[in-house]
């Protein structure tokens, strides 16, 4: 049974910052590529960032230069540092393996609004 627990979301003004955390359990953390995904109301879920087992990262164009994904293999944690937030970043954010498995956590809500 894989468990994915996201935290760190909240309400911020445009230009603000948030740091999200993901605590997976029930899966071999270190050997997998991990990603952050988001789903806005009425839109498909999309992957915004990913990181390989060795720390190589890739980002969606929409967040490139503003978001940073990182991992701590010793703690089995994945993080997403989000800076210069925009209203279009408003979504529920999830972590999952890449490729994703069919089991998702509760997500954490990020709302960017003045």
Query: In this predicted structure, what is the pLDDT of residue 39?
Result: 98
Spatial separation of the C-alpha atoms in residues 35 and 52, rounded to whole Å? 9
The predicted model gives 14-38 an average pLDDT of 95
- 71-81 tens-digit pLDDT: 999 999 999 99
Mean pLDDT of the chain: 96
Structure confidence at residue 26 (pLDDT): 87
Per-residue pLDDT tens over the stretch 36-60: 999 999 999 999 999 999 999 999 9
d(CA 43, CA 48): 14
User: For 114, what's the count of Cα atoms within 13 Å in the CB-facing half-sphere?
Assistant: 3
């Amino acid at each position: 049974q894989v468990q994915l627990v996201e935290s760190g979301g909240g309400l911020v003004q445009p230009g603000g910052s948030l740091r999200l955390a993901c605590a997976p359990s029930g899966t071999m953390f270190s050997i997998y590529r991990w990603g952050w995904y988001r789903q806005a109301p009425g839109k498909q879920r999309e992957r915004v960032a990913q990181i390989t087992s060795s720390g190589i990262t890739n980002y969606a164009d929409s967040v490139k230069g503003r978001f940073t994904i990182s991992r701590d293999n010793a703690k089995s944690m994945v993080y997403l540092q989000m800076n210069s937030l925009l209203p279009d970043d408003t979504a529920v954010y999830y972590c999952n393996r890449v490729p994703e498995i069919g089991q998702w956590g509760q997500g954490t809500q990020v709302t960017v609004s003045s």
